[in-house]
Structure 1
Amino acid sequence: MNDRLPIDLLVSALLRRANDAGGMAMVLAKGDSQAGSILLILNDKGRFSGMLEQGRDLDGRIALVSAGPPDTALPDEVTSYWQRRRARDPDLWVIDLDIPSAQRFAAETIAQH
C-alpha cells in the first residue's frame, strides 16, 4: 500500500490554505489525481519569485526542489517553461501561488505530507 496522499488532495489543501491566509492560488493545469507531481509558480504580490517542483530527498521523503527559470525571468519565460514541462509530463499539476513567503508556505503544505 502506498502511504502517499493523492495529489489532488494536496492541491486542494494548498488552494484552501492560500485562500485562508489571504493569498491566492490557481490551478493552471491539472495532472493525474493520484500519481501526478506538482510544479509551483511562486509570486509575492504579483512579483515572480521562482519555481518549485515536488520531488523526493535522499531519504525518500517528499521535498520541494528549485526548478525553472531564475527569479528574474520575464512572464513569457515562466509560461514557456511550465508549458514545455507539461507537454513532456501530462501528469504534472501546475499551480500559480501568490502569497508572502510563498516558498515557506508551500513547504509547510506539501513537504509535510
Structure 2
Amino acid sequence: MTGRLPTTVIATALLRRVNDSGGSGMVLAKGTQDGSMLVVAIDRGGSPKLLERGFGEGGRAILIDSTPTEDLDGYWRRRRARDPDLWVIEVDIAGAERFAAEVMLDD
C-alpha cells in the first residue's frame, strides 16, 4: 500500500478548494477511485492548460503541462477512451495552476 491518497479524495479536495475560493470547478469525466487525473486549468477565462501529476528528478512529484497544441477537448476525450479510469476535472479560478499544484502535489 502506498501513502498516496485515492484520486476521489484529491478530486473532491481540489473542487472544494476552488469553489470555496470563489472559482468554479466540475468533473468532466469520473474515473475510478485510484485512476489518474487530468486538470483543465482555466485562469479566470483565459486559455486552458491541461495539467497532470508526474514524476521528476529523484522521483519527486511534479505538475506536468500536457496541453496539446490544438483541440484540448478532443485530446482528453481520446485519453479517456484509452483509459476509462482517468478523471478529468475543470477548474476556472485565478491561479488555477497553483490550486492544482497545492492539492495534487501535497506529499
Same fold by TM-score greater than 0.5: yes
Identity of aligned residues (%): 50
Question: How far off its partner does 1:95 sit?
Answer: 0.6
Deviation at 1:90?
A: 1.0
Q: Which runs of 5+ in 2 are unaligned?
A: none
SS at match of 1:32: coil
Match for residue 60 of structure 1?
59
One-letter amino acid matched to 2:10: L
**1:32-47 map, 5 Å:** 32-34=32-34, 36-47=35-46
Q: Distance in 1 between matches of 2:37 and 2:58?
A: 19
- Alignment map for 1:15-26 (pairs within 5 Å): 15-26=15-26
Is the contact made by 1:38 and 1:54 (CA closer than 8 Å) also made in structure 2?
A: yes
Unaligned runs of 5+ in 1: none
RMSD: 1.4
Q: Following the alignment from structure 2 to structure 1, what is the Cα–Cα distance between the partners of residues 53 and 36? A: 6
| Higher strand proportion | 1
For residues 27 and 59 of structure 1, the distance between their equivalents in structure 2, rounded to whole angstroms, comes to 31
User: Could you tell me the TM-score, scaled by structure 2's length?
Assistant: 0.90
Aligned length: 107
Report runs of 4+ in structure 1 exceeding 4 Å deviation: none
1:26-85 alpha-carbon deviations (Å, 9 max, x no partner):
100011112x11101111222223111122223333321010324xx5xxx111111011
